[in-house]
Each structure stands twice: as structure tokens, then as C-alpha cells.
Amino acid sequence: MDQILLLEAVERYLRGEMNDEEKRVFEDMRKSNPELDQMVVEHHFFLEEMDRYGEIKRFKANLYDTHHTLQEIGDIKELNPAGQGKIAYLWNRYRRVVAVAASIAGITALLISGLTVAFSPKAPIRDIEELRRKVTFLEKKTNNQSAQINDVRKKIEPGTPIKFGGTSFLVDSKGYLVTSAHVVQDASKIFVQNNKGADFRATIVYTDLEKDLAILRIEDQDFKSPASLPYSIGRSTTDIAEPIFTLGYPKDEIVYGEGYLSAKTGLKGDTMAYQISISANPGNSGGPVLNKNGEVIGILNARQTTADGVVFAIKSKNIFRVVDELKKKDSSQHIKISTNSALKGMDRVQQVKKIEDCIYMVKVVLN
Amino acid sequence: MSTLEKEKELLKGLANNNKDAIEAIYRDNYNLIQSLIVNNNGTEDDARDIFQEALIVLYEKSKTDTFELNCQIRTYLYSVSRRLWLKKLQYARRFESQVELLEETVPVEEDLDVHNKLNQQYGIMRSAMGKIGEPCKSLLEAFYVHHKNMIEIASFFGYTNADNAKNQKYKCLMRLKKLFFAQYKNGN
């Protein structure tokens, strides 16, 4: 009972509920009794914590009530996630749950199929053997086919210059094409074929073997010249590492390839060419090398046989030089080189769709 | 009344736990915080919890002697809520998208440090309260939280007189203090 009275006294003292007389007596007691002093300090701290606890609790209760009141009045509303659909919202929220559920489902499925295999009666062995025989039969067939392909390859000696074709592209919509000089070397007749498979007669207007460039002209009544060319021919040099792409006819159909510019000079420091890294095959010769803005930066002309993936392209400014030389020699040819690209900012698929109509396969009939 | 004065009034009301002031602040700001939380992988309940915690931070701050708010209540609540929610997302490892509504924010890290410390102490008291059980909890809360006097408490809890109630209260208080200080010393 003494303890209860004492604690009550401490509480009254701390809350300032004592009168002056009581307070004086209590403070004297506190001075003379360190135990009491300790109790006062401790209880003071405890009451402070208790007050804070009470305060926050009352405040929280108030917030809780306010939330409900406002919700009932309708001043605050439940909000559906804005800007994204309910499904996206649910997906975001439950993604992890879904992932876990899916893994469990996956593991269960594997487990069950494993058990099924383990416990089901062994499949009739004869069936499996039959199947296997079929497979070996198929394998044999495949082997036969590849043997035939090897035969075909052997007919074309490796290293023999392939004279029957290359790629060319329009530089002037009137029907002037540029290709590599070596493609049309020794040709008696030239046909060019567009990507739809139509052939047109063409003649060589000019060749520069040193630059390995040739200008052809389509001389065929069936040829309908396009209004303008989608790409431009670049005059400036391109930087190393710039992404590039090409279109050509290494087979009977137009083929797309992409890569990057690996060096500003060609074979043995040849400043007329670039070294590029792109997959190129016989038939790609004479094809345009374009950058991402749809500018022709070069004409694909060779690959190094002693190294892998090293391809060379003649710099496109040589086209201008060749055309200038041609003008000096033969004033009847008026070639207006396309210098405006309409392909800037387009995605690659759209660019290629526009370009492919201007790329022609060159078919050469030898003497 | 200018906006500034109005805000000062509201903060004064908030510090006194005034119902009207709380309601006004609640009404003006809840929807903003709700859209912040709900658009960032949160639920309605998360929004309510975060907003109310932010209000508690502001409440605690408003009660200090040196209290001064250098921005609008809205900006402050938004900044605190944003910080609290980011923390919660990080904790739950659901942190994916950057929390952003194009709202101005002010630095609130220091205030949150203070709040976290206070919140820890509040947590100790709450858990101690939870452990002493009934009727001790209600009895002590009636006396210390709701400031009822012993006569009211005696009649409410069915004690024959105030002395009996006092006796019971003393026993409960001793248990609570024991639990509280045990945890408090552990925590520090």
C-alpha cells in the first residue's frame, strides 16, 4: 500500500498537481532519498513515453475517423490506377505471385511427366526401333543430298572469278546504274534484273578499272524510271564503327546484310576504299553500302580471301569523280546524281522496302 | 485569409489534434498521395497507411518548439509520402519504376530520421501494452491516454471503489513498466 501511495505521489508531483507545501516536503524527501530520486527520474521518462503513446494513439484514432467520414461524404474516392489498364495494374501487383505460381506449375508438370515416364509400362520396343530405322533412312537421304551439293560445288573451282553476276544500283533515276568494273569486265552483253525478276538490256557507258567502277545504262523500252531515288550518294567520308547495311544478289533473290565500318582504308592502306565487316558473297560485288540515314557511302567490291569477314568497299565519292570524267569524255551523257536521301529517320524495314526497287542484279554474258 | 495564414491555422489545429483541421488537411491532400501510391504498385490500404504516417510525421514536427514549415503542407506531405513509399518498395523489393508524379518535393530525410526514432519508441510502448493483456491495457489507457479519473474508471470497470481500482492500476502499471524498460534497454 505504501508503494501505491508513493507512486501516486510521484505522479502527482510530476504532473504538477501538488500544492506548494506538499511540493516542498516531497522535494526535501527526494534530496535525502536517492532511491526516491531515481524513481522520480525513471517515472518521469516513462510518463513522457506514455504521453506520447497516448497522443499518437488519439491522433491515429482521429485520422481513422476522418478517413471514414470523408469516404462516406465522398470527398475522397477510391482510385483505380490511372494511365494503365486494370490488367496491367494487376499484372504489376501480382507479377511475383504469378511467377511463383508458374514455376510451381512448371515443376509440377515436369514431376508428373517424369513420374509418368518412370511408372508407365515400357513402350513397345519394336515401335521405337521402327522409328529409328526411319530416321536412319532419312539420315541417309540427307547425306545423299549433301553429297550432291558437294558435287555442284566442285564444279565451280574455288578461287575462279565468278563472272556471271553482280549487283548494281541506280544513281540517276533515268536508268544509270553503278556497279563494279570487274563485274562487267569482258562482257559482250549485259542484262540487269530487278527484284521482281524482270530483265532489261543494259550497256556499259564507262568503266574505270583503277577505281573498279562501271556505269551502266538501261536501254530497254520496258524500263520505267522511278520518279526519284530514295537514297543519296554521299560525298564525305564515314567514321569507323558506323553501322552500315547492304543489299545485293548473292543468289537469285535480293539479300540484306548488315555490319559496321571497320577501317577508313582498304587493302594495304588503299585510301580509295573502306574496310567493312559484313557478310558478303560472290554476287554482292557492285552493291551499295548504306549508312543509317540512307546515304550510299560505298560500293562493295571485294573480300580478302586470307582473312575472315574482311570486305572492302570503294568510297562513294569516287562515283562523282567517275561521272565527272565521263562528262569530260562524252558530253552526251547527262547524269544527275541523287544527293537527297528520303530515308532519314525511317526504320530499317521501311528503308529497305524503298531501296530494293533500285537495286538490280547484273547478268553478264561473256565473249 | 491568405493561403499562408490559412496553412498556419491548419498547422496550429493539427498540433492540437483538432478534428476540423485534420479533416481539412486530409481532404485537400489525400487524393494526391493516393494517386502517387496506387500508380506505383500500391493499394488503397497502402495509400491510407502512408498518408496517415506522413500526417503523423507532420504532427510530430508541428508539436516541436522550433517548428517552422518552409513549404506548403501539400508539398511536405507529398515529399514525406514519396520517401516513405520508396523505402517500403525497396524493402519489399518491388522497386521497379521510379516514383514520379511531377510534383515539387522538399528534403525530408532529417524529419524522417526523427520520426523513425519516435516511431520506434511508440512501437515499444505499443508492444508492451499488447503484452500486458486485458483488463490492464484498457485500464491503463483509460487513465493515461483518455485521462479519466479513478472514480470514473472504478465505475466503468466495475470496481467497488476507487481504491480497488487504484490497487489494480498499480499492479498493471508495474507490469507495463517492467515490460517497457526490458524492451527499451534491449532496443538501445
Per-residue confidence (pLDDT) for residue A367, from 0 to 100: 63
pLDDT, one tens digit per residue, over A53-67 is: 888 888 888 888 888
Residue with cell 567520308: A237
Where in chain A are the domains? 2-68, 81-120, 165-366
Higher-confidence residue: A233 or B162? A233
Q: Which range, A8-22, A141-155, A162-176, A337-351, has the best average confidence (pLDDT)?
A: A337-351
pLDDT, one tens digit per residue, over A254-286 is: 999 999 999 988 877 888 889 999 888 878 889
pLDDT, one tens digit per residue, over B177-186 is: 888 888 877 7
Higher-confidence residue: B162 or A357? A357
Q: Which fold has domain A165-366?
A: Thrombin, subunit H (2.40.10)
Per-residue confidence (pLDDT) for residue A233, from 0 to 100: 92
The answer to whether A46 contacts chain B (CB < 8 Å) is yes
Per-residue confidence (pLDDT) for residue A285, from 0 to 100: 87
Tell me which chain B residue has its CA closest to the CA of residue A80. B38
Per-residue confidence (pLDDT) for residue A120, from 0 to 100: 67
C-alpha cell read off for A283: 554476287
Tell me which chain B residue has its CA closest to the CA of residue A46. B177
Helix axes B44-62, B109-132, angle to 10 degrees: 100
pLDDT at A126 over 50: no
Count of Cβ atoms closer than 10 Å to residue A363 Cβ: 18
The answer to whether A97 contacts chain B (CB < 8 Å) is no
Length of chain A in terms of residues written: 367
pLDDT at B110 over 80: yes
Point out the least confidently predicted range of A95-99, A171-175, A361-365, B6-10: A95-99
Per-residue confidence (pLDDT) for residue A127, from 0 to 100: 38
CB contact under 8 A, B145 and A93: no
pLDDT at A307 over 80: no
pLDDT, one tens digit per residue, over A21-36 is: 888 888 888 888 888 8
Residue B109 confidence class, pLDDT cut points 50, 70, 90: confident
CB contact under 8 A, B144 and A54: yes
- Closest approach of A64 to chain B, Cα-based (Å): 9
Q: Of B19, B48, B170, which has the smallest distance from its Cβ to A67's Cβ? A: B48
Per-residue confidence (pLDDT) for residue A182, from 0 to 100: 84
- Closest approach of B115 to chain A, Cα-based (Å): 12
Strands (E), A180-330: 187-193, 199-208, 213-218, 232-233, 243-248, 255-263, 273-277, 288-291, 295-303, 311-315
Of A212, A209, A217, A279, the residue nearest A247 (C-alpha): A279
Name every chain B residue with its beta carbon within 8 A of the beta carbon of A50: 125, 144
| DSSP bridge partners of A314 | A273, A299
Q: Of B48, B144, B167, which has the smallest distance from its Cβ to A50's Cβ? A: B144
Residue A171: partners with Cβ closer than 8 Å, 6 or more residues away: A177, A178, A215, A229, A233, A319, A323, A335, A337, A338
Higher-confidence residue: A92 or A257? A257
Residue A169 confidence class, pLDDT cut points 50, 70, 90: very high
Mean pLDDT, rounded, for A329-347: 85
Per-residue confidence (pLDDT) for residue A340, from 0 to 100: 85
Name every chain B residue with its beta carbon within 8 A of the beta carbon of A7: 170, 173
Per-residue confidence (pLDDT) for residue A15, from 0 to 100: 80
Rounded Cα distance, B50 and A63, in Å: 12
Tell me the helices (H) and strands (E) count for chain A, helix number first.
Answer: 8, 13
Note the ipTM here: 0.81
The answer to whether A59 contacts chain B (CB < 8 Å) is yes
pLDDT, one tens digit per residue, over B21-40 is: 888 888 888 988 888 888 88
B17 torsion bin: left (phi>0), alpha (psi -120 to 50), beta (else): left
pTM given for the model: 0.45
B124 and B187 Cβ atoms separated by less than 8 Å: yes
Point out the least confidently predicted range of A81-95, A104-118, A281-295: A81-95
CB contact under 8 A, B26 and A46: no
Residue with cell 554521299: A234
Residue with cell 516531497: A26
The answer to whether A77 contacts chain B (CB < 8 Å) is yes
Strands (E), chain A: 165-172, 176-179, 187-193, 199-208, 213-218, 232-233, 243-248, 255-263, 273-277, 288-291, 295-303, 311-315, 359-366
Per-residue confidence (pLDDT) for residue A91, from 0 to 100: 66
pLDDT at A125 over 80: no
Top CATH class, B3-106: mainly alpha
C-alpha cell read off for B13: 489545429
C-alpha cell read off for B143: 487513465
**Residue A359 phi, psi dihedral angles, 5° rounding:** -105, 130
Q: Of B39, B52, B141, which has the smallest distance from its Cβ to A83's Cβ? A: B39
Name every chain A residue with its beta carbon within 8 A of the beta carbon of B141: 54, 57
**Residue A160 phi, psi dihedral angles, 5° rounding:** -70, 125
Per-residue confidence (pLDDT) for residue A131, from 0 to 100: 39
- Closest approach of B71 to chain A, Cα-based (Å): 22
CB contact under 8 A, A50 and B177: no
Point out the least confidently predicted range of A217-226, A237-246, A256-265, B49-58: A217-226
pLDDT at A46 over 60: yes
Q: Which fold has domain B111-187?
A: Arc Repressor Mutant, subunit A (1.10.10)
Contacts 24+ apart (CB under 8 A), A90-97: A92/B41, A92/B96, A93/B41, A93/B43, A96/B94
pLDDT at A251 over 70: yes
Rounded Cα distance, A136 and A55, in Å: 85
Distance of CA B56 to the CA centre of its chain: 4
Where in the sequence of chain B do the CATH 1.10.1740 domains occur? 3-106
The answer to whether A68 contacts chain B (CB < 8 Å) is no
The answer to whether A24 contacts chain B (CB < 8 Å) is no
Q: Strand A359-366 and strand A255-263: pairing?
A: unpaired
Rounded Cα distance, B104 and B76, in Å: 9
Collapsing DSSP to helix, strand or coil, A244 comes out as strand
